[in-house]
Structure 1
């Protein structure tokens, strides 16, 4: 299997090549809470396209039910779901080879929650550090049962399609371990049915928002994939830098400057140290101008494709309908196997 390239450094990315070797099906996804941005692209979207190109079967869940895990209300979910499909296709995901589906459209997937909940204890869920953190940052007036059982819902996402490889960040490893535990206990208690999914740890560099904080559209600090060139320029003009005119790549001590250097490097497939050295004493003005040109040049083909797809949104709905049908067929088959193993109807 051919190694893919890490565009931050121009070197082969052994995690994708070695991690994907011997695996068959990958599940990944997003919550439909807003448009995808550059952080999403370099963090996950690019890798999905690379993994698909290596011949792995890609399952992408648009996790609409998960929107209500940490907020009291969910707004414009259908619109956001369609926009996710738009971003996926524009970025290069092939709907003929990838299954793009929504939680709410696959009843059998969600029905797996019940037997899976019987395989995990309240104490084990309470100890999950990711759940603790998500509860602490919840937007709900009171923590819901769905928030508490979120790792089990994620286990259903992974096990319904028998995914054996999951691209995750370090913070999601506790959730994946819950999935592996549920699979192991089901296999031991009933019959061997589920693989124990392996983590494909992301080495994607973390891009900060233009204000130096976490990149998020709701904070107004993110460059979305669908933003036009003028909006991109406006956001980058306001990006946080510092008072040192000489540009260097030092993420720990100069996060704002280094974030813009990294962004240029990712867009131009270069080493960030080389980018910083080239800008040198040009200061923040040259850095921001270079970043704007690099981002707009990099995103131009994607944005053109995105605009073409957006002109006929029926295509996006057709992709979702086809993906939902495929996911339902897989989920129905898995649920029937679970019922047989458990001796239920």
Structure 2
């Protein structure tokens, strides 16, 4: 079901501000009538999740789930292959993702957790979807360009190039009408909206087979890694959710700051110090400027001590739950089996509808 709002989604005059206004209206609707929404979100299983993931997406997933929004969480194991020759330790990474989800509060009774590779009907949607998008449109996608640049490969696979269409299949197989994203993911979502619109026009005969999903823009702040760049699994600069208290303390002690002793919250001019202040504030539930004011002239050592105490206290119950779940790998596999079964049933129904709509049901 496409959500009709009084905000023009496609107006070119003010670009992102229109999407922001629409997202704000959607947020209000989610609170008033969460049953209207089905959300698709997920991660690639390339390693354990970190605090950037937690405050960027995981916390919001649990919030939406608890509001009563239907939630599907995809572990995109096929998409690991977009920029890697071998999917090393894939089973371990998939199970680690499930552990992280359960530890932070994703409830498999209320959220469907599933893997890409276990849902054949989902992946079969990629073929008709690719017929609805041009090579030029795929090539212009800025997110694909960035992924290709980061891969540092002389050439890229066809899977990498078709990544936006594959992501459209992820979203549309379950007819999700709301996708929580950051601003950098808006081009991907626009490809999905384009494919849905073109399928409905070409084959639907005036019927809405697929909704045009909306973006629920994340208000999550950017947390820097310990080296002062974006927190990332691949850069080895992340504070991992599953780390021990001692490992977390060592990571924070090594974090980059600057030469000024007085602590302030000025993200534009003091990004490294401000990111640490923000991290403490998020964990403490306080305003970052108040945290900085309290630290005053006590210097980077006091800042790091405050951050370490705040992070470890915040993560303690999450780590405790994770350790308990990790003792029963059979439960983790059951969560995946159950989620895969539910997702496969949805995908089979959608694929049958697609084939019927295309007059290809024999």
TM-score for both structures, normalised by structure 1 = 0.94
Q: Distance in 1 between matches of 2:191 and 2:342?
A: 26
Of 298, 302, 305, which residue of structure 2 is paired with 1:289?
305
Provide the alpha-carbon RMSD of the alignment.
Answer: 1.4
Q: Secondary structure at the match of 2:298?
A: helix
Structure 1 stretches lacking a partner, 5+ long: 1-12
The question of whether the paired residues in 1 share the 8 Å contact of 2:27 and 2:216 is answered with: no
The question of whether the paired residues in 2 share the 8 Å contact of 1:72 and 1:140 is answered with: no
Q: Distance in 1 between matches of 2:250 and 2:270?
A: 22
Deviation of 1:16 after TM superposition, in Å, equals 7.3
Comparing 226-235 with 124-133, greater Cα deviation is found at 124-133
1:327 paired to 2:340: no
1:216 aligns to what?
A: 232
In the TM superposition, what whole-angstrom CA distance separates every residue of 1:267-309 from its partner, at most 9, and x where no partner exists? 0000000000001111111101010000000000000000000
Aligned pairs for 1:168-179 (under 5 A) are 168-179=181-192
Deviation of 1:220 after TM superposition, in Å, equals 2.5
Change (3 A) 1:40 1:117: same
The question of whether the paired residues in 2 share the 8 Å contact of 1:15 and 1:200 is answered with: no
The question of whether the paired residues in 2 share the 8 Å contact of 1:72 and 1:141 is answered with: no
In the TM superposition, what whole-angstrom CA distance separates every residue of 1:151-181 from its partner, at most 9, and x where no partner exists? 0000000000000000011111111001000
Q: Distance in 2 between matches of 1:20 and 1:33?
A: 31
The question of whether the paired residues in 2 share the 8 Å contact of 1:24 and 1:57 is answered with: yes
1:33 aligns to what?
A: 46
In the TM superposition, what whole-angstrom CA distance separates every residue of 1:249-269 from its partner, at most 9, and x where no partner exists? 001111111111000000000
Deviation of 1:142 after TM superposition, in Å, equals 2.1
In the TM superposition, what whole-angstrom CA distance separates every residue of 1:203-248 from its partner, at most 9, and x where no partner exists? 1000000110121233221111110000011111111111111100
Deviation of 1:131 after TM superposition, in Å, equals 1.5
The question of whether the paired residues in 2 share the 8 Å contact of 1:24 and 1:164 is answered with: yes
Change (3 A) 1:174 1:319: same
1:114 aligns to what?
A: 127
Deviation of 1:140 after TM superposition, in Å, equals 4.1
How many residues align structurally?
Answer: 333
The question of whether the paired residues in 1 share the 8 Å contact of 2:74 and 2:114 is answered with: yes
The question of whether the paired residues in 2 share the 8 Å contact of 1:25 and 1:58 is answered with: yes
1:261 paired to 2:307: no
1:81 aligns to what?
A: 94
Q: Distance in 1 between matches of 2:183 and 2:66?
A: 25
Structure 1 residue ranges, 4+ long, deviating more than 6 angstroms after superposition: none
1:244 aligns to what?
A: 260
Change (3 A) 1:276 1:16: farther
Q: Distance in 1 between matches of 2:152 and 2:112?
A: 30
1:233 aligns to what?
A: 249
Of 279, 283, 308, which residue of structure 1 is paired with 2:324?
308
Of 270, 283, 290, which residue of structure 2 is paired with 1:274?
290
Change (3 A) 1:314 1:170: same
TM-score for both structures, normalised by structure 2 = 0.90
Deviation of 1:139 after TM superposition, in Å, equals 4.6
The question of whether the paired residues in 1 share the 8 Å contact of 2:222 and 2:230 is answered with: no
Aligned pairs for 1:152-163 (under 5 A) are 152-163=165-176
Q: Secondary structure at the match of 2:315?
A: helix
